[in-house]
A and B are shown apart, each in its own frame.
Chain A
């Protein structure tokens, strides 16, 4: 029960951070700062993928509503990430962790492996997000630049949040 409340609090904090980032932090047109992927990554691993997708959809929709963006953009990217989360996790970490439904810490998994996992999940998220946002209206260079810069900036953000907030939680 205590764990459930802690988890809900964790999601609320992430949503608040996301609203603050979208409303008050302007880092130019090429970078979209977003901590929603972190929320999706840390959904319980033993939870059914269908349920994870529904939770990701709701969280994405809340972010879309609160951040005054195009409704459905974050929701679509979050659902895609929730759908591919387990296979990505199995590919990046050992299957042992997946069976035990435990997300290893940076110390347990190693920095390289952890960074690799976060990068892959961010790639999935931003491929969907940027494709739906630009819908072929931007040039390939601009789209790639947006993708690379957003992945890099969010990798730093998520690693910082991960290290500061969740390592202590575990």
Chain B
């Protein structure tokens, strides 16, 4: 009784055992009300537990799909929000310049394929390219702040110059006082950046929030970026503010590519203005 025949015999024995015991249980349940009640109760409990376990396992394997659906939903919500923001701005000051600044932004979700955060000139590679409507110069954000700007695009991928790049700067403002300046990474700590050339009279205090200003056609306004952690007066003329960034660039996974639908119009206008000047 060795090897395969022994294994087959054992399996057959187990099956015979289960069949006979099941038959006995059926007979017992059919011949006694108490036993039937308890046995059926036990079977139902085991069934419920099994269903629960199966449901848990199925839920676990559908997490990726759910995640994608959530990202999609988030994207739609952001799109709707930008519509409301645009509408609200036009209602407040219909004839002013504010009308075109918030613009009408559209968002495309993307996953990061590759990224660096320890160099002086960091970059990211995302899994959406020209086929998804991505073009050079579009902004890349997350709900925690600005990530970078699209620099090159292929059919299915885009190369993003990260905000963690000493040559990159974005326009940011103090939420409390609306004073704005250039926010730039200084190339040392990936969690800190410098908001420079802020007026001495801005009333900035440590802990104040900083958000995007919207003074460009790349990023929408009011994306929270970070909080002030240090205030440095420069030559008694203006302030440099050290900012603790909300965005942790070392754990990025999902981003949104943001497109200003009025960008071409804005840029054309800017070019015309420069030509006349």
Contacts and interface: CB of A to CB of B under 8 A. Distances in A.
Interface of A: 48-50, 53-54, 57, 60, 70-73, 75-76, 79-80, 83, 132, 135-137
Contacts of B38: 135-137
Contacts of A79: 17, 20-21, 24
Nearest to A73: B28
Contacts of A71: 27-28, 30-31
Interface in B154-195: none
A132 B24 CA distance: 10
Contacts, number: 61
Q: What are the nearest 7 A-B pairs in CB distance?
A: A72-B27, A76-B24, A135-B38, A72-B24, A72-B28, A50-B16, A71-B31
Interface string B5-24: 00001001100110011011
A83 B27 contact: no
B24 A54 contact: no
B16 A54 contact: yes
Contacts of A73: 24, 28
Contacts of A70: 28, 31-32, 35
A53 B17 contact: yes
B89 interface: no
A49 B13 contact: yes
Contact of A76 (B9, B21, B32, B34): B21
Interface in B66-85: none
Contact of B9 (A48, A72, A136): A48
B26 interface: yes
Contact of B16 (A53, A75, A132): A53
B28 A57 contact: no
Interface in B83-108: none
Contacts of B32: 70
A72 B39 CA distance: 13
Contacts of A76: 20-21, 24-25, 28
A169 to B, nearest CB: 28
A50 B24 contact: no
A138 to B, nearest CB: 11
Contact of B21 (A49, A80, A135, A136): A80
A79 B14 CA distance: 11
7 contacts: A48-B13, A50-B13, A54-B20, A75-B24, A76-B21, A80-B21, A83-B13
Nearest to B17: A83
B35 A50 contact: no
A137 B35 CA distance: 9
Contacts of A80: 21
Contacts of B34: 135, 137
B34 to A, nearest CB: 6
A72 B13 contact: no
